[in-house]
Amino acid sequence: MNILTVKNICKKFNNLEVLRGIDLEVNKGEVIAIIGPSGSGKSTLLRCLIRLETIDKGSVAIEGKPMVYQDSNGDSIYSSEKDIRILRKKMGMVFQNFNLFPHKSVLENIIEAPITVSNTPLIEAENIADQLLEKVGLADKRDSYPCELSGGQKQRVAIARALAMNPDIMLFDEPTSALDPELTGEVLKVMKALAEEHMTMLVVTHEMGFAREVANKVIFMDNGEIIEQGNPQEVFGNPKHPRTKAFLGQILR
Amino acid sequence: MELEYIINSSIAIAKGCKITYSLFFSTLIFSLPLGLLIALARISKSNLLQAATGTYIWLLRGTPLLLQVFFIYFGLPAFGIKFESMTAAIVAFVLNYAAYFAEIFRSGIQSIDRGQYESADVLGLTYSQTMRRIIVPQMTKRILPPVSNEVITLVKDTALVFGIGLADVLRTAQIIVTRDFNISAFLIAGVFYLVNTLALTLIFRKLEQKYSYYTG
């Protein structure tokens, strides 16, 4: 089942074209790794999907409902704020820099959105939070503050926080890039477990091992375009485009 | 100096405390929330609000507080607006301190990382929820030192109301000094200000400790 449909997204920052006509279809339960050199537009693409950036052209639809569509002049028209809120609720996002709320404890970080946004009763929100903390292996950090956690622990809390809103799609924007190498493993393990539960995931990453092992589909982006996509065996084992070959040659050296 | 004289002078000066304290607390109670509103308008997307608050801050920070007190007390009656001297002083102080607090709040709000807004946004919090629950609580921790500075300045600025004939602590002391040709009343007034600023320093130190449970 098609859960996310992206057509011809174009995005400019001033005069710099960061996305030049991206098409993408995501099926329910798919894990898609988006790889490519820095500045290729991977993160911007992810941010456009959840409207942290607005697009200039193209359309984004979630479960068949348009968040932004293209009118007959080719301009992108966003749906009403109310409709967008409903659609965005279906997505969760994890950032490179965690962006935990430093003044709130781990538990408070996780229950913040369920309580304020979904009006979940406190006890129920806490129960969900405790289950999620168990899942990411941080039940003992429930009452700690973010400043007391390691990077890997912070990112696992951030994942739990996003999951607490029960999203259908999880977006990961370089979730391990700010971590010390020895801490990436614990975060990737949590992500892998999520993938095994058939969570739909879009992961912008430099972790080729993760992309190869966990993703159903790998997308290689360069210069604002999707250059090549396919299953990991194809893209890693037998890249067709010279730019993909060059990139993989550099990174897997 | 006789002890009795000092005690009697102190009692007289203590009567001036009423003016000084009511001006101090009234200014704080009204100028802090007003300052926050001005700061929020200053960083809003509306050009009109930005320009209006920018001008307001420029005018209120750009002229002497005493001049503003004079303007409200002596100037506004010409436009048919008349205040009691104490009310005039409170209005002038509130408007003036709100401008300074607004700039402190603005800098505090703008020092919060953009990622905080983004993570609140993707979790579905509205702008006002984000401000109330995420940004302003973090801002409060960061602005305590400059706010403490401003509040200590306020204690001493209250003495400016002698300009419109209000008998605050300093004015009462001055009356005693001129009457008795003895400057000990000034010393008593000085001690009054020192004790109060010391108390404020300690209160703000406690507040900073209260917020030290997290970093970042």
Angstrom distance (rounded) from CA A167 to CA A160: 11
In tens digits, what is the pLDDT along chain A, a chain of 253 residues?
Answer: 789 999 999 999 998 999 999 999 999 999 999 999 999 999 999 999 999 999 999 999 999 999 999 888 878 999 999 999 999 999 999 999 999 999 999 999 999 999 999 999 999 999 999 999 999 999 999 999 999 999 999 999 999 999 999 999 999 999 999 999 899 999 999 999 999 999 999 999 999 999 999 999 999 999 999 999 999 999 999 999 999 999 998 887 6
Quickly tell me which residue has 């700061």 as its tokens: B39
Stated pTM of the model: 0.91
| A215 φ, ψ (degrees, to nearest 5) | -75, 145
Angstrom distance (rounded) from CA B29 to CA B51: 26
**Spatial contact of A217 and A229, defined as CB atoms under 8 Å apart:** yes
What does the domain layout of chain B look like in residue ranges?
A: 2-210
Q: Which two tokens stand for residue B185?
A: 């009343």
Convert the pLDDT of each residue in A157-196 to its tens digit: 999 999 999 999 999 999 999 999 899 999 999 999 999 9
CA–CA distances in Å: residue B161 to residues A81, A182, A219, B78, B152: 51, 64, 71, 20, 17
CB contact under 8 A, A102 and B122: no
Among B123, B126, B141, B213, most A C-beta atoms within 10 A, so best to mutate, is B123
Give the model's pLDDT for residue A117: 96
Pick the CATH number of B2-210 from 1.10.3720.10, 3.40.50.300, 3.10.20.30, 2.60.120.620: 1.10.3720.10
- CB contacts under 8 A, A 160-219 vs B, are 161-162, 165
- Cβ of B25: how many Cβ atoms within 10 Å? 12
Q: Tell me which chain A residue has its CA closest to the CA of residue B125.
A: A117
CB contact under 8 A, B119 and A92: no
β-bridge partners, A11 = A19
- CB contacts under 8 A, A 20-79 vs B, are 50, 52
Which residues of chain B are at the A interface, by a Cβ-Cβ cutoff of 8 Å? 113, 115-116, 118-125, 129, 133-134, 137-138, 141, 213-216
H-type alpha helices, B111-183:
114-122, 127-129, 136-157, 169-180
Residues in chain B within 8 Å Cβ distance of A177 = none
